[in-house]
Amino acid sequence: MKKAAFILTVVFIFLFVSSDSFAKTNKILPKRLFNNNLSNVAPPINPDADQDGYNYIKYGGNDCNDVDATIHPNAIEVCGNNIDEDCSGADLSCDYDSDGFIAIELGGDDCDDENPDIYPGANEICGNNIDEDCSGADLVCTDTDVPSIYSISSNSLVNGESITITGMNFGVKSPVEPIHWDNFEHGTLGGNIQTPPQGIPYALATPGVTTYGSDCYEGNRCSYSYSMPNSLKPGLSIMVSPRNPATEPKTKLFASAKIKLRSSDGELGYIGSKYFRFNTNDDGSFVHGGPNYDYDLARALLTNPPTPQYNVSGKPLHGSYGMWYFGGFDPLPHNEWVDLSIWSRIGDVDTPNGYVGRSYNGEVLNANGVTIDGTCADDGYRNVAIVTYIDRNAAPGRIVEVSIDDVYIDDKFSRIVLAQYPDWDNHGKDALQIPHTTWSDDTIEFTVNLGGFTQEEINNGLYLFVVDENDNASEGFLVQ
């Protein structure tokens, strides 16, 4: 029994010594320091967790998504899926040329998504073997002599900015500038009308009656005048080729202005207005015709609605004293701005080869084969009268006020027009542009005149037309 107890004692001592030695040797920590929950232990740092070869941005790399190996710099970017595969900062647009239209192969209707000038609705240029508007074919030129606009140097329309047009069949205009252009901004409010910087003197602009007013079509100043029955004559008169000193008479003339009439009693009725007249008289006075001219062609062109009479002879009156063709007797709307233009070419004596045209608020009418002869053929056009000899048969005491703005006169039909709509024959609101420096068969330079266009109308897009010396207009060129 004693022997067994001894053996147990020895074993116990051995185990105690051995366990103490093992603990010291292997540095076993106390049990309270062990923690079997490994979730609080940070894993080793791996800057390229998705193993796509690019380190994550957080660790100084340029991989914007380190849990998707298909997303990294230089990855193939898929347009329109709202995923930035190549870490460029944004998804790729499916409109590669940024013209507002998506390529056909991506479900859009842009037939050339690498050229921003080619898209549905773009300006189509005939005969150049390019389908600019994605209609399926190039536009066939129906008349190679008609002006065609290819491009403009700027789509930014700012008053006074110079823009260059390139194209074909513009013809050559010399001198380039119109003979008279006046937007009246150079004058002093209330002051008498003066010769504009780009123009010729006014005749019969009565001092104190024809002055610079502020109720204008555009800008801050325009011509203002008024009339009493059978007394003062309002409006403007411009001597385009006076006889003294002697100048060559004009056989062709174009005139345009914005006009507003209003009366003291709100009525206009039949007031005997001659809105435009081209005269042969010497002094700029206002010579009028008789009742036998009820079928005058230009009168018919100016009525509202127009009632054109073709191949009607317009004869001069009173020998060599003067003539008028272009007095429309239908009243203009009361207290509203209207846009009137008239143009005419004198033909040969007793030969129906004259020409007349007019535009009323953008509605264009013209007539060839007009006989304009007699003293007119000999003397030509010398004077333009705008809204004159007014209120001949007005009610007693009625005062008629006349505002005129943006007067443009030239002895050429060639002109540049900025319009609201693309159809020349009904182009709506318009503004004549002011050519300068260059007008060749393929290049024109002009100064922007926005006229009465609002910023909203400009933002919606306007149309540019070039009209040649034969009164042929180009297709409308969208400026947006």
Is pLDDT above 80 for 376? Answer: no
pLDDT digits (tens, 9 = 90+) for 172-215: 999 999 999 999 999 999 998 889 998 888 875 566 678 999 99
**164 exposure class (CB count in 10 Å sphere: 0-12, 13-18, 19+):** middle
C-alpha–C-alpha distance, residues 325 and 267, integer Å: 25
Q: Which long-range contacts (CB under 8 A, 24 or more apart) does 135-138 make?
A: none
Q: Which domains does the chain have, with CATH numbers?
A: 49-92 (no CATH), 145-173+414-480 (2.60.40.10), 180-413 (2.60.120.200)
**Residue 159: band (very low, low, confident or very high) from pLDDT cuts 50, 70, 90:** very high
Q: Which residue has the higher pLDDT, 397 or 232?
A: 397
C-alpha–C-alpha distance, residues 284 and 405, integer Å: 20
State the average pLDDT over residues 220-235: 76
State the average pLDDT over residues 434-438: 96
Give percent of the chain above pLDDT 90. 33
pLDDT digits (tens, 9 = 90+) for 347-369: 666 666 677 788 889 988 776 65
What number of CA atoms fall less than 13 Å from residue 70's CA on the CB side? 6
Give percent of the chain above pLDDT 70. 68
Is pLDDT above 60 for 319? Answer: no
pLDDT of residue 3: 52
Residue 24 contacts residue 11 (beta carbons within 8 Å): no
Q: In the numeric block, which tokens belong to residue 155?
A: 């789509």
The single residue listed with the structure tokens 């709509």 is: 421
pLDDT digits (tens, 9 = 90+) for 31-65: 333 343 434 444 557 888 888 889 888 888 988 98
